[in-house]
Amino acid sequence: MSPKAKVSGSEKIAAVEKYLRGEDSLNHLAALLDVHHSSVRQWLQTYQSLGPNGLLQTLQNASYSAELKRIAVEDYLAGGGSHMDICKRYGIKSTRQLRDWILKYNGHEKLNTSGTGGTPIMTKGRTTTYDERVEIVRFCIEHQHNYAQTADKFQVSYQQVYSWTNKYLTSGVDALQDRRGKRKSEDEMSEVEKLRAQNKLLQAENRRKQMEIDLLKKLDEIERRRF
């Protein structure tokens, strides 16, 4: 028996997009490509988490910092969502990877950075202004709480993005002020400035909610076409 031919990235993308358009089923696509249906499900998850480019990369090329791994695991253990939810939020390619990190975390093993020879790397934070924190949280909310993407864009640490976003969600825009040293420039902000920041973040939340509604409508439409 000859070995199975490796499925190319472009073939994976074509299969996933065919499924998303409602033109074929997972099982039939798996049979056509001579793979297990779980493989097609994994491609679908990767596509939804990282986009088409995620299917053009090998798992070996995916690199995650020790800090991202820890934050993702702690978010899951705190009830932040399913394995799939966490993978989408942090741009993790596979739920299998996340489950492995959780097992290591629970076993008190060190979560090292991928792709660096096992060297632990912690992304350094930096000092930010109130306006920067508002903008960072706005971007994070608009991008489905993708802390990794937000941290990379604004050159801050994953922990900072995670902390600021959750402070805002639990305590409102005032929680984004830096109270250390009683900094006058932030402590004495006018109500107009606070309302302007609050409005910016509420608009981001509304856009995110609308995106979720549009996605659910699209999925319902796909399911209706199948039957």
Write out pLDDT tens, residues 99-133. Answer: 888 887 765 555 655 543 443 433 456 788 888 88
Axis-axis angle for helices 66-77, 83-90 (nearest 10): 140
The two structure tokens encoding residue 123 = 């992304």
Query: What confidence tier does 39 reach under pLDDT thresholds 50, 70, 90?
Result: confident
Query: What sign does the CA torsion over 164, 209, 143, 94 have?
Result: positive
Q: Is the pTM here over 0.75, yes or no? A: no
Cβ neighbours of residue 207 under 8 Å, at least 6 residues apart? Answer: 142
What ranges in 143-180 are assigned the alpha helix state H?
147-154, 158-171
Cβ neighbours of residue 197 under 8 Å, at least 6 residues apart? Answer: 130, 131, 134, 173, 176
Domain residue ranges of the chain, discontinuous segments joined by +: 9-57, 61-122, 130-221
pLDDT of 217 higher than 80: no
Side chain identity, residue 13: I
pLDDT of 13 higher than 80: yes
**What is the model's pLDDT at position 100?**
87
